[in-house]
Amino acid sequence: MSPDATNLLQGTLDMMILKALALHEMHGLGISRRIEQITKGTFQVKPGSLFPALHRMEEEGWLSSAWGDSENNRCAKYYRLTKAGRRQLESETERWGRISLAIARALEAS
């Protein structure tokens, strides 16, 4: 993603991470791949944006982390949603829905 697009979508990045973790816990690379997958390749999150976001969200209390073994038996840090995180995901989803609806209406109006 181009640099200014990244800045613009920091809030969106948070939401993507929350969504990616909605089903089960994952490590950093896994989250990155999952976001790529669910957006069908549109968002490719660089680790330079991912890691700061993960740590920030953990400090906010939306994620919790634990060390575990990855697929290839490597030590990796796994993240999962907390209850607060789930609530945040819900409210963000709802807010985005409202915004996109409003924009769509605005664009349709003549």
61 vs 97, beta carbon nearer other proteins: 61
Q: Which of 85, 30, 34 is nearest to 63 (CA)?
A: 85
Interface residues for other proteins in 65-84 (CB under 8 A)?
70, 72, 74-77, 84
Token pair belonging to 104:
């769509």
CA dist 75 → 15, 63, 103 (Å): 26, 19, 44
Q: Which of residues 13-42 bind other proteins (CB under 8 A)?
A: 27-29
Cβ atoms of 65 and 78 within 8 Å: the answer is: yes
Give the range of 12-20, 47-55, 92-100, 101-109 binding other proteins by CB under 8 A: 47-55
Q: How many CB atoms lie within 10 A of CB 31?
A: 21
Do residues 77 and 70 lie in contact, with contact meaning Cβ atoms separated by under 8 Å?
no
Contact call for residue 97 and other proteins (CB under 8 A): no
16 versus 32: smaller Cβ distance to other proteins? 32
- Residue from 25, 36, 58, 92 touching other proteins (CB under 8 A): that is 58
Q: Which residues bind other proteins (CB under 8 A)?
A: 27-29, 46-48, 51-52, 55-56, 58-61, 70, 72, 74-77, 84
